Chain A
Amino acid sequence: MKKIKILPLVFAGIIIMGSSAFAKCGINSGKISVLANDFPALHAVVSTAEECAGGGVTFSKNHTAKHLEISVPALTANPAQYSVKIVANSSIVPLLNNDLIRPLNDLVAKYGQHLKKNQLITVDGKIMAIAFMANAQHLFVRKDILDQVGHDIPKTYEEVLAACKAIRDAGIMQYPFAMLSKPDWNLGEEFVNMYLGHGGVFFKPGSAEPAVNNKKGVATLKMLKALTSYSNPDFLTFNSATVAPIWEAGNLALAELWGSTGGQILDAKGSTEKITSNTLLVSAPRVGGGKIPASSLWWDGFTIARNISEKDAEASFRAMLHGISDEMVKKNNDKSVWLMDAYVPGKAAAGVFATASGGSQPYPMLPYMGILHMASSKELPDFLQGNESAEQTLADIEAAYISGAKEKGFL
């Protein structure tokens, strides 16, 4: 019998096994780079997509809270600096306005047959993004403190105010409430949510003219002011990063926070058993006799840049599909409210689910909504500090919006 040379065979076997490990997601080559916001759910998705790297596929990622600033310039470059941008309802709008992302219909037909219909974000029939998670701002409550003052879980903001008053009168906490009121994008979001809860409409139908200076706008501002009176006087510095530690230290009884903060607040780190076990995540409250929760629904999804080669686009799409696969969902179930079927809703998702089933409106995906959002962030602090009337503030918001919209060419 001829001596079969074992060693070369072994080497060949290792090489074959190795290269098939490199072609893990079935991708052979391509340059993938991801730009995304910086929170745990997105870290989970992108690091799972990163498993596709190797053997001709290069992968780089950039998680930054400043992604909004750099997305338009980075994707305008040709070739685009990033092939994948993870977006939400509002951050997809400047990319759509400037034609920086490509339709995904062909890629979905080829590789994405398993995607659910509600994951496909379409504009005029073109699939522009694949959504993978939902988020919304909703109410966080400390059940034990509410029991102490004999109040039920509030279903409306009026009940929230009553509960806060009871907590303050009982001497438990002087400032039991917090919302994300930092005068950047956060404060504008509070205005949008409360205004939607009052059933308000932002623009005159079919045009870009603002329509917020009305009774509903005034009621919105008055409710926001009433809520801030139960907030620590430093409320104009509150964003998710500052409020979550305050909650975990047990210094808040009611708060309106992002659902995606739920995972951080409910986990065992940074807080005591007493606080985490008594923290309940419930639907955003209704307000002013309205029928829907005073919140807006958000989706996060990925988009593929237009200014890249077809090969890179295909590689990026397939890598991101791997990033949102069922295995990823199973390993990171509680990090977010995933839209995929493999998701099992847990305690941290209860608030977002309740808000969505209550009929909350999705954040408007209009091209000029961002201008109105930033205008309200700029003008609201004056009202909240008691420097001017509600009508004056709404007039200022509309005036600031109009000069911004004129400059952007919408008016």
Chain B
Amino acid sequence: MPHRTFIYFILPSLLSMILLIAVPVFSVIVQSFFVEHEQVLIEVENCNPFKCVKSLSVDQQAGAKLRQEAPLGRFNGINTYTNRNHLAFDEVALAWMESKSLVDFGAKLLNLPFYKALLFTLTYTFIVSPFVLIFGLAIALGVNGLPKFVKGPSIFVSLLPMIVTPLIGSLILFWMIDAKGILGSTLQLIFDDNNLSLKASMPLTWVMLIVYGIWHSTPFAFIVLYAGLQTVPQETLEAASIDGATRWERIRHVTVPHMVPLIIFITLMQLMDNFRVFEPIVGFSASAKATSLSWIIFNDLHGDSKLFGSAAASSIMTIIGVMILLMPVLIRSWKNFNIKLH
């Protein structure tokens, strides 16, 4: 296709992507370098129904003038990225010097909010993604082998976990695993421990969130791989079975290699989506035991003191994290693409 036609073809998408993705991200990057102006405090007398008390309040006139001159705020440069709420360079250096062992250093590091969130986010991403792929493939192969009249309903049932809104799904599960809920009391019976509470223990909460994540994302892998399974060349499969290959060997040597592009696609999507895990933490009220990068962004913008610069810095670091995660897959795709061309 001539270049001009190509440009005209993608122009609407390109324009909307620039306007709706590139410009906002650029704006967030700019915001992450600024903090609010210094507040001028004056002493005033506050009277409420109970008593009058001398207190400090913000001087509006002085603040308004500052805000008019420099609406973005005070330039803080890279300091927002290195403060305690983010990469915490000073605190990490202090912990490194003070720790007696690597385990001690690790414990001190996990006391910092960003690293605590990063650990859970990475654990979640690297456990949920492969399991989603494996289960998705297993379910796709299973459904593919079913008789025709059962296929439709089983596809529908397999898709359900993804269709349920994440927040509602996690709330339902939250009440089921409560110590008095159906899953919670069943587990208590199985393990013969009346004090077993999934919500009270940190490792169990992580397990619960990961199980929920796998349950919720598997249908996506299933439907993509199921579609791919329909395109597996039948001649190669028949040739393989004539040559004496078992079902497992046929899957391993014919089906899976054929679906590598789809597997790469699912891996890409899963790494990106799972790195941004957020709804399960809110739905399970698990923020005391597990926080994620998206959750700390939400927390900064939560309540009456909104820390915009801090949230912007966390957002940029999440984007950088996703880019780092996707690097290997993108490089491999690029290599495959080049091999196909030449």
Contacts and interface: CB of A to CB of B under 8 A. Distances in A.
Instruction: Name, among B38, B111, B202, the residue most crowded by chain A CB atoms within 10 Å (CB to CB).
Output: B111
Interface in A57-72: 68-69, 71-72
Interface string B101-134: 0000000000101000000000000000000000
B309 A367 contact: no
Kindly list the 9 A-B residue pairs having the minimum CB-CB distance in the complex, ordered from nearest: A233-B200, A124-B44, A381-B288, A236-B288, A409-B36, A94-B304, A370-B305, A122-B47, A118-B49
Interface residues of B, number: 53
Given A68-B304, A370-B303, A371-B305, A385 B49 contact: no
B195 interface: yes
Interface string B289-320: 10000000001011111110110000000000
B41 A385 contact: no
Interface stretch (A85-93, A140-148, A270-278, A328-336): A85-93
B46 interface: yes
Given A233-B197, A365-B46, 10 more contacts: A90-B304, A91-B304, A99-B64, A120-B47, A122-B45, A367-B41, A400-B84, A400-B113, A406-B35, A408-B36
Contacts of A120: 47
Nearest to B66: A409
Contact of A403 (B43, B85, B288): B85
A409 B37 CA distance: 5
B48 A96 contact: no
Given A385-B202, A406-B35, A409-B38, A119 B307 contact: no
Interface string B187-227: 00000000101011010000000000000000000000000
Interface stretch (B3-11, B53-61, B141-149, B242-250): B53-61
A134 B304 contact: no
A131 interface: yes
Contacts of A68: 303-304
Interface of A: 68-69, 71-72, 89-91, 93-94, 96-97, 99, 118-125, 131, 134, 182-185, 206, 208, 232-234, 236-237, 297, 299, 339, 356, 362, 364-368, 370-371, 374, 378, 381-382, 385, 388, 392, 396, 399-400, 402-404, 406-410
Interface in B50-101: 50-51, 53, 55-58, 60, 63-64, 74, 76, 80, 83-85, 91
B58 A97 contact: yes
Given A123-B46, A407-B80, A234 B178 contact: yes
Contacts, number: 150
Nearest to A246: B180
Nearest to B287: A183
16 contacts: A99-B63, A119-B49, A121-B46, A125-B45, A206-B56, A208-B56, A234-B179, A236-B285, A236-B288, A356-B50, A362-B48, A370-B304, A371-B305, A381-B289, A406-B35, A407-B36
A99 B299 CA distance: 24
B44 A131 contact: no
Contact of A69 (B91, B197, B303): B303
B39 interface: yes
